Structures are given as structure tokens and as C-alpha cells.
Amino acid sequence: MGQIFGSNGDIAHVEGSRVVWSNTRRPALLLPEAAVTLTNFDIAFPDFAKSDAYGFTFASAGGFDFSACVSWVSIDPQEWDSGLSFVCNLPAGANYFEVEMTLSRIVAPSSVMGVDGPIPALLGSGGQHMPDGNSALIEGVGPLVRMFAFERAGNAVYLRRKQSVANEGQRVPWNSGNNNNSGSGGYRSGFTYGGNPSAWPVYQIDQRTGGNIDKRRGGANACSLSDPTNYASLWRGTVTITPGYIAP
């Protein structure tokens, strides 16, 4: 609950440390008669850049050989920026705008490790929203997040989309998938990476156990590395841009 109080003859509405309104600040005057409503408005995000992870183990006991493998899709550290996409024009002299929207996620991305279902939505699908600062986080879990922002340039409004996957360096002491020899003959047990060594394993592709029919990476009975995931997503809905201006 916010507080409204007077101080030195001024009036302020405060929510925590945030000043919501104060008579000492210039007000924004909205022009609802000039509002623009866009239906079937899309906010889309592409698939992530990805690598893979592969685990292999070999043991011999009692005259029997045993091997097993497991394979994963991994997501590379990355920073993606869509750039600006035109949304609408503002009336001459307008230097401010607000956004109201109702969005639903109609294409959901694949799931990630530890999550039941697709990457979680951070914006309620199908709900009405008025994002603070005309921007919002829309999807995210663990090291990855997506957001959008409506920005003004001159007398036009543009949409920018971003997605980020944290880069915390190589967290696993593993070897390249091109280096699975043990160095003393035979094959190296443990995990190897294909692509980026700093990628985040997020989705198990395959797992095989039993017997010893060459389950090393690239072997005759290797775990599949065919990527079944698609982390692209699409939100669609109605967006209303209400222009205005901040009084001098």
C-alpha cells in the first residue's frame, strides 16, 4: 500500500522507495483520442544458438564389459537484440506514450532441465498488462531470459526484443568432443562438449545402457545427438499505444 503525504507544502504519492506522483514533477498529459490499437500484434523470439553435451562411461568386471552414454542439448551464452521494428506514428509534438496490451503465448518454446513444461512465461498469458516503462520481462528460467520494450524515436514508436543467456565461463572440466581418447589407449570416460564449452545443458536427448556396443561419441551405438528442441516462441494479442506529452 502506497502513502500519500505532504512535505514542505508539496504532495507526493510513494510506493516504497518509488515516487509514483508528485506535484514537484512535470505531469504527463495523455491524448486518448489519438490512441492507436493494433490487433494480431506479434512479439516473436528466435531459437537459441545451441551446442551439445555427451556423457560416456566404460567399465570391466568379472569378465564382462559395460558401457553407457547420455546426450544433451545445451544452450550457448549469447546476447541477441532484434533492433527496432516500427509500430506506429505519434501525433506531432507528442513526446510521451503509454502501452496497454493483452497478449497470449501461441507458440511455446521447448522445456528445459528441471522445468515441467516449456520455458516459464513471466507475463500472464491472456491477461491485460500495462508494463512499467513500456517494457517487461516475458520469459525466463535459470540463466536465460527474454524481454521486450517499446521505444520512442522522434515521432514514432518502435518495438525492440532481446534474449540473453548468461556467460559464466566453462563450469565443467570437460574435453572437446573431438578429443575422446584417454591418452593411454581406449576411450575417455566422462563428458565431452560439441560446440561451446561454456554452454548450459538443458534437455536430455538420449540415454543408453547395457552391453558394450561402442557407445562413445561417434561410435556404432552412440547416443543420438539429433536436436529435437525448438526454443522459438511467439506471443500475439492487442496493443494500444496512447500518445501524450510531458508539460514544459
- For the chain, give the percent of residues with pLDDT over 90: 61
Decide: 139 and 44 in contact? Cβ < 8 Å. no
Residue 163 in this model has a pLDDT that exceeds 80:
yes
- ∠90-28-123 over CA atoms, to 5°? 75
- For the chain, give the percent of residues with pLDDT over 70: 85
What digits encode the pLDDT tens for the residues 187-213?
Answer: 667 889 999 999 999 999 999 987 767
Cβ-based neighbours of 178, under 8 Å, separated by 6 or more: none
Residue 145 in this model has a pLDDT that exceeds 60:
yes
pLDDT for position 184? 46
* Region 155-180 average pLDDT: 87
* Region 231-239 average pLDDT: 98
pLDDT for position 75? 97
Cell digits of residue 192? 565431452
What digits encode the pLDDT tens for the residues 168-186?
Answer: 988 877 888 766 654 444 5
Query: Three-class SS of residue 35?
Result: coil
Average pLDDT of the residues of the chain: 88
Torsion angle in degrees (nearest 10) through CA of 117, 121, 122, 123: -150
Residue 107 in this model has a pLDDT that exceeds 80:
yes
Residue 122 in this model has a pLDDT that exceeds 70:
yes
Higher pLDDT, 2 or 138: 138
What digits encode the pLDDT tens for the residues 25-50?
Answer: 667 788 999 999 999 999 999 999 99
Residue 100 in this model has a pLDDT that exceeds 80:
yes
Three-state SS string over 167-213 comes to CCCCCCCCEECCCCECCCCCECCEEEEECCCCCEEEEEEEEECCCCC
Name the pTM for this structure.
Answer: 0.83
Lowest mean pLDDT of 66-75, 144-153, 166-175, name the range: 166-175
Higher pLDDT, 65 or 120: 120
Decide: 163 and 144 in contact? Cβ < 8 Å. yes
pLDDT for position 64? 64
**What distance in Å separates the CA atoms of residue 130 and residue 136, rounded to the nearest whole number?**
9
